[in-house]
Amino acid sequence: MGRSILTSGVVLALAAQFASAVLPRGVHKARVLKEPADLADSYDYVIVGGGTAGLTIADRLTEDEDTTVLVIEYGLLSDSESIKTVRGGFGGFGAPGALFPTRSVPQVNLGNRVIDVLAGKVVGGSSAVNAMMTIRGAKGDYDRWGQFFREDSEWSWEGILPYFKKALTFVPPNEDVAESSGIVYDTSFWGEGESGVYTSWPSFQYPGTSAQLEAWKEVPGVTFPPDSGSGETGVYWYPQFMDPKLVERSYARTGHYSNSDRENYHLVTNSKVIKIVVEDGTATGVSFRPADDPAGEVSTIKASKEVIVSAGAVHTPQVLQLSGIGPSALLEAAGIETIVDLPGVGQNFQDHPMLTARFTLRSLDVSPKESDLSRGGEFRTWADEVWAANRTGPYSIATGNLAAWLSYPVISARYDEIATRLEEQDHAAYLPEGTDSTVAAGYKAQMLSYAEALRANHTGFYNHAITASPSNGIIVDLHPLSRGTININPENPDAEPLVDYRALSNPLDAAIMADIIRFARSFYMDNAFNAQYDPVESQPGASVQTDEEMATYLARTLSPTEYHPAGTAAMLPKELGGVVDEDLRVYGVAGLRVADASIMPTLVGANTCQTVYAIAEKAADLIKGSVTTTNTNR
């Protein structure tokens, strides 16, 4: 039996090789991929950015063969093995030219450190370079979005759940691995396989991962939801963006582009959109130039129905601002004529801060360990063998599959005090000087919503990825209070934008992060299960205790990014500094929508990719007009 499977696999592989030998290279993709000279003059829809959201929307819109779509992408198609490999999760970094070269402005509260701003510049966007963690976050994150508009908005947990189900095809784990490592999942939170983007499981788990699960059972208040998609906070197992058959990255390109040979779906690469053409208040087209040649020829393509901006949270505000849509003072300084004075464009920037902390359970024997792979020996030999033979074993693990996502009352006894301090702040004082009053009003609304969330269990604040080794993995603050900006550089608007995280600009962030570190400390150092393994703290270390000491430590060690930029074209009422309404339409311009991570008014308490896919699926339905909101805010 095993043999015949293997034989047919070999036959298939040979057939595939033969096919690629006889067909001219790339013929399958040629219908979709175009040179600028081969484009039509006009399409129904022009999409700016062939990333996570852009390709998802293009795929869904072209399901109707009478609808024509052009996607304009800055980067190239990359067949780099670094993108395909799941091993270790961060392979995409190694793909040549697949990331923008953007760096932040010096962070004044972080000792003027300059931070690398990572964002995908390749067909597939950031889904091509991300760490493949498939996370959905908690109900409160999605209910909050709609509540900025009205009580019964469709932007809610219940409203987005069908799109989560549509966005990914979930394939359950191997039963033996699930049983031996204690993986739980519940397919009722997933859909019927309507998507070419897969989320699935590695065929191996390190014993050290499950060992840590026991320690979490000791922590009062910690719950264990039945599935990563349940919308509950707690400690749970999660899958990874992986094609389970190929054991390769599954992403927007493989799921929403590669299998398409539709005549009505065009993609042009190496093309930087420099302007949305707006005529009499309506977006009518898009201008772009060769991405690698600032002096190259500018082409303009008409959009007869709509322009959709999906350039990601770092570049969507730049595209809007270059088009005269943004804060008028900034546009004026850059010498750009204001088409719509929209103060929120490029404001409200959020990302997940990563904290530095190191705790080790010195005598926990969890062999084999992750580190054994680099050491060689028997385990490494076995890993190499099973991977080469069947693509199974440790090399099928992306970044790990177990993590804690905890609400504030579970991690800190002073949750009510912190919430009260947040309510009583002069919120606007923590925004950049000259911030528009509507943007400040939106910020205040967000902080009041967070104050409520700090006292409840429907929103995660603490995130801790659990590794296979005896030391902790990444520890993250899921809801930073500080807000940054991403604006064009007035001196050189066409250059990479000025990214300012404004990390720690709201001083309560440091207090919350101090609680997060203290909770991690108590998890390792005071936990009855962990106590038997001789725990030690090497960072921040015993000398860092008070809020003040913690704040100093954070300024020195904090990363303001987990590569989850969001919020820079926020879906909020206009009087709250919003850029798009509940239908994702840009205020003040007809025929123009934004659909990508930039529309999140508040960052979700989760890695952002799954949410972006769901936003894009919902956007496609909104654009098709198959659903509408009862939005009166236009």
CB closer to ligand NAG, 101 vs 220: 220
Cα(603)–Cα(453) distance, rounded to whole angstroms? Answer: 13
Nearer to ligand FAD, 317 or 573 (CB): 317
Nearer to ligand NAG, 4 or 546 (CB): 4
Q: What is the CA radius of gyration of the chain?
A: 24
Minimum gap (Å) between residue 518 Cβ and ligand NAG: 17
Residue with tokens 């947990």: 157
- Residue 90 vs 224, nearer CB to ligand FAD: 90
Q: How far is the CB of 55 from ligand NAG (least distance, A)?
A: 34
C-beta closer to ligand FAD: residue 82 or 425: 82
Q: Which helix (H) or strand (E) holds 249?
A: strand 248-249
The site for ligand FAD, by CB under 6 A, has a size of 41
Cis preceding-peptide flag for 565 (omega within 30 of 0): no
Instruction: Flag whether 273 is marked binding.
Output: yes
Subset of 581-620 contacting ligand FAD (CB under 6 A)? 596-597, 607-610, 612
Near ligand FAD by CB under 6 A: residue from 273, 320, 451, 576: 273
Percent helix, strand, coil in the chain (nearest 5)? 35, 20, 45
Q: Which is nearer to ligand FAD, 137 or 393 (CB)?
A: 137
Residue 594 to residue 576: CA distance in whole angstroms: 17
Rounded-to-integer distance, Cα 137 and Cα 407, Å = 11
Residue 409 interacts, among ligand NAG, ligand FAD, none and using kind-specific CB cut-offs from 5 to 8 Å, with ligand NAG
Burial class (CB in 10 A: 0-12, 13-18, 19+), 172: middle
Q: Map the footprint of ligand NAG across residues 399-458, applying CB under 6 A.
A: 409-410, 456-457
429 three-state secondary structure? helix
* C-beta of 413 vs 542, nearer to ligand NAG: 413
Two tokens at 479? 């809801």
Choosing from 261, 293, 385, 548, the residue that interacts with ligand NAG (CB under 6 A) is 385
Q: Does position 484 bind ligand FAD by CB under 6 A?
A: no
- Give the H or E element holding residue 449: helix 437-454
**Given the rule CB under 6 A, which of 108-116, 381-389, 423-431, 596-604 is the region that contacts ligand NAG?**
381-389
Our CB check for ligand FAD shows the closer of 129 and 520 to be 129
SS (H, E, C) 300-339: EEEEEEEEEECCHHHHHHHHHHHCCEECHHHHHHCCCCCC
Candidates 86, 135, 247, 512; binder of ligand FAD (CB under 6 A) is 135
Q: Applying CB under 6 A, which part among 69-77, 159-167, 182-190, 432-440 lies near ligand FAD?
A: 69-77
Amino acid at 387: W
Helix, coil or strand: residue 566: strand
Could you tell me where the beta strands, DSSP code E, fall in 310-387?
325-326, 340-341, 354-355, 358-361
Q: From residue 599, give the alpha-carbon distance in Å to each of 126, 248, 316, 483, 594.
A: 16, 29, 10, 15, 7
Of 41-49, 314-322, 386-394, 593-601, the window that binds ligand NAG (rule: CB under 6 A) is: 386-394
Of the candidate spans 51-59, 168-176, 443-451, 569-577, the one that interacts with ligand FAD by CB under 6 A turns out to be: 51-59
Q: Output b/e per residue, 124-135; b: 16+ Cβ within 10 A.
A: bbbbbbbbbbbb
Phi-psi region of 242 (alpha: psi -120 to 50; beta: other; left: phi over 0): beta
Using CB under 6 A, which residues numbered 151 to 210 contact ligand NAG?
A: none
State the nearest-atom distance from the C-beta of 460 to ligand NAG, in Å.
Answer: 12
Helix (H, G, I), strand (E, B) or coil at 91: helix
Residue 167: both structure tokens together:
């966005």
Of residues 98-127, those binding ligand NAG (CB under 6 A): none
577 alpha carbon, distance to own chain's centre: 23
Residue 453-482 contact track with ligand NAG, rule CB under 6 A, x = bound: ---xx-------------------------
Considering the complex, state which of residue 354 and residue 406 has its C-beta at the smaller distance from ligand FAD. Answer: 354
Q: Are 465 and 403 in contact (CB under 8 A)?
A: yes
In the chain, what is the straight-line distance between the N-terminal and C-terminal CA atoms, in Å?
A: 62
The footprint of ligand FAD (CB under 6 A) covers: 48-54, 72-75, 118-121, 125-127, 129-133, 135, 272-273, 310-313, 315, 319, 563-564, 596-597, 607-610, 612
The footprint of ligand NAG (CB under 6 A) covers: 2, 221, 385-386, 389-390, 409-410, 456-457
What residues are designated binding site? 122, 273
What residues are designated binding site for FAD? 122, 273
